[in-house]
Chains A and B, each alone.
Chain A
Amino acid sequence: MYKYDQYDQQMVDNRVEEFRDQVKRRLSGQITEDQFKPLRLMNGLYLQLHAYMLRVAIPYGTLDSRQMRMLAHIARKYDRDYGHFTTRQNLQFNWIKLEDTPDILAELATVEMHAIQTSGNCIRNISSDQYAGAAADEVADPRVWAELLRQWSTFHPEFSYLPRKFKIAVIASGEDRAAMRLHDIGIQLVERDGVLGGKIFVGGGMGRTPMIAHEIRDFVTADDLLSYVEACLRVYNRYGRRDNIYKARIKILLHEIGADAYREQVEQEFAHVKALGIDPPKAEFDRIAAMFAPPAFEADAPTELDRSDPDFALWLDQNVKPHKQAGYAIVNISLKPTGGIPGDATSAQIDLMADLAERYSFDELRITHAQNVVLPHVRSADLHAIWQRLDEAGLAPANLDLISDIIACPGLDYCSLANARSIPLAQKITERYSDPAKQRDIGELKLKISGCINACGHHHAGHIGILGVDKKGTENYQLLLGGSGAEDVSLGKITGPGFDEDGVVDAIERVTDKYLVVREDGERFIDTYRRVGMAPFKEAIYG
């Protein structure tokens, strides 16, 4: 895990004091809201439906127990005793007071955390694979590159006022666990002839105009990677539209000029940028990489597991993934209990997860884009003890990647942009599918709900997606089928006319019932949909 050096710490500390002064001037009336708003947004502070919301950055979703406990502390002291883990691997507090915010940021800074660049038209939190450093299928730890990009992009003067917000994901496995091709830039680290490099994908994203990123380069050596990304940004910064907020993302630029024309511009710019020498010297890269060195795994950790407890065995099968090190496992903690709010955790639950990480997972936690938490390095021998502690705290639903493991945005219950509620729908769906056996029978099914067209709930990428819209003052829900944010990336298609809240839950059940009838052996829902198409499902839904 990356640790701040004196420059990092000084920057963050200075920023806190700068913001403290800005808040003081706002509260005393020296500056207006129009003057203050861009300043608070630069510190991740939004004004939402009920209160101020503070979005705290968790770089590539990695944090330690000390940082996790600080999040619990802030939830308890300054909020209403809970935090909300987001689809950008961050954490949001929903009930923050402006007058408390400088103190909150100061407390965050004591554990090397902040809220810088969690809003605004800049490069946002770099996201990555939640299994980084633990997955057997990765060619390198992608967080080393994500961290390099974080250092390069934080306060980057040229990219602080881009046409729109900008999101980058880095993965290093064939299996895409970070929805890489639905980012403005997606980087897949690959090895070619023994040389590490990256495939570069540009122009993906969801929102009102969903697009899958184009492959712009099939291989850039790792030594050139930062220069190449800088070239990609420079071309966007030069040609991206600033006259229309809805056409300002890089995906629109690529759509308008074409991937080939964009690539040509990037290659020209890359030749220029490469001469500037911005790629890090080897010593600096090695310094960063050393902080992500594998922990001290036991070479002969026992691999046997007692599966005699059936509930434990179910959790093992669903939520625990293989680790690259024999005798170890990756634990997924589901924040999706039946009837719960996806991504919410109480301060007590956050503290418990911190305790478990400290004791059992080399002091590391990860946040996933699916709003769950991961303990990345757990001895197999400790799994039962962890499961028992999680179960006592309501954190052991054995539903990873099943229909109740729903991604949902905060929706109209909290968000000032939303047109419809998302959370009650997620609650009703989890209650409808509360039978664990039925969920497992259906198998892998990614269900994602957004309360508005901005798609924070990733509905375009859901095997089943739901988009809430405002229809003459009432909530209406459009159903989509066939999306995927994984390596088999695709965008969902709308089934037809929308539904009210109960109607869409019934429609989903008709979809899964149909799937159970028409699926072939070994097929997931998405496989069946791709084989049979929309028609049978549409018939099942609308008759």
Chain B
Amino acid sequence: MKLLTGNDLPTGDVIWWTGSGWSRHIEDAGDVADRGEAIGRAEESVQHVTGPYVIDAKITADGPRPAHIKDRIRALGPTVRPDLTLKPADPEAGSWVI
């Protein structure tokens, strides 16, 4: 599957295209198939997102997960500070990023 991601302009937060808008949680991301670049261009032009790009991903038991480690870290948070991950309350946060 393909996901569309980028950064929220005012905050810089990593965001994911859900199919109808943007979410900070990768669990909400939807498959953009071959429409990602077109959606990204359109969204960039209305200032919702900075630097949108399409990545490869797969569905797992936990939801969509990027194929490449760099995008997984970007999606879920740094591996060295569980408190700074997307789910800081989860004691296993540091390990499930990778």
Contacts and interface: CB of A to CB of B under 8 A. Distances in A.
B84 interface: yes
Contact of A29 (B13, B47, B77, B79): B47
Contacts of B77: 50
A453 to B, nearest CB: 15
A47 B81 CA distance: 19
A414 B84 CA distance: 11
B11 interface: yes
Given A49-B74, A51-B11, A99-B11, A413 B50 contact: no
Contacts of A27: 9-10, 47
B69 A412 contact: yes
B70 A412 contact: yes
B78 A52 contact: no
B70 to A, nearest CB: 6
B42 interface: no
B16 to A, nearest CB: 13
Contacts of A412: 69-70, 73
A98 B44 contact: no
Contacts of B9: 26-27, 98
Given A98-B10, A412-B73, A47 B80 contact: no
13 contacts: A33-B44, A33-B51, A47-B7, A47-B50, A49-B70, A50-B12, A50-B13, A95-B84, A96-B12, A341-B80, A412-B73, A413-B80, A421-B79
B10 A50 contact: no
Contacts of B67: 473
Contacts of B11: 51, 97-99
Contacts of B84: 80, 95
Contacts of B12: 47, 50-52, 96-98
Q: Which 5 A-B pairs have the closest CB atoms?
A: A413-B78, A52-B12, A51-B12, A99-B10, A423-B80
Contact of B74 (A29, A50, A423): A50
A123 B25 CA distance: 40
Contacts of B14: 50-51
A421 B79 CA distance: 9
Contacts of A474: 69
A424 interface: yes
* Interface of B, helix, strand, loop or mixed by DSSP: loop
A475 interface: yes
A528 interface: no
A439 interface: no
B68 interface: yes
B44 A414 contact: no
A414 B79 CA distance: 10
A32 to B, nearest CB: 8
Contacts of A475: 69
Nearest to B70: A412
A209 interface: no
* Interface of A, helix, strand, loop or mixed by DSSP: mixed
Contacts of A237: none
Contacts of B13: 50-51
Find the residue from B10, B47, B69, B70 having the highest chain A CB count within 10 A.
B70
B92 to A, nearest CB: 16
The number of chain A residues touching the other chain, given as a range, is 20 to 34
Interface in A470-527: 473-475
Interface string A92-117: 00011111000000000000000000
Nearest to B14: A50
Contacts of B51: 33, 47
A33 B10 contact: no
Interface string B57-74: 000000000011110011
A265 interface: no
A325 interface: no
Contacts of A49: 70, 73-74
A475 B14 CA distance: 23
A454 to B, nearest CB: 15
Contacts of A99: 10-11
A419 to B, nearest CB: 8
Given A51-B7, A97-B10, 7 more contacts: A26-B9, A33-B51, A51-B11, A341-B81, A413-B73, A413-B80, A421-B80
A97 B51 CA distance: 16
B83 to A, nearest CB: 8
Nearest to A421: B79
Contacts of A413: 73, 78-80
Interface string A155-182: 0000000000000000000000000000
Contacts of B44: 33
Contacts of A414: 78
A424 B73 contact: no
Interface in B10-29: 10-14
A201 to B, nearest CB: 36
Find the residue from B12, B44, B51, B79 having the highest chain A CB count within 10 A.
B12
A424 B80 CA distance: 6
B74 to A, nearest CB: 5
Contacts of A318: none
A427 interface: yes
Interface string B37-57: 000000010110011000000
Contacts of B74: 49-50
A475 B79 CA distance: 14
Given A27-B9, A33-B51, A50-B74, A427 B80 contact: yes
Contacts of B78: 50, 413-414, 423
A423 B70 CA distance: 14
Contacts of A47: 7, 12, 50-51
A427 B81 CA distance: 12
Contacts of B50: 33, 47
A97 B36 CA distance: 26
Nearest to B68: A473
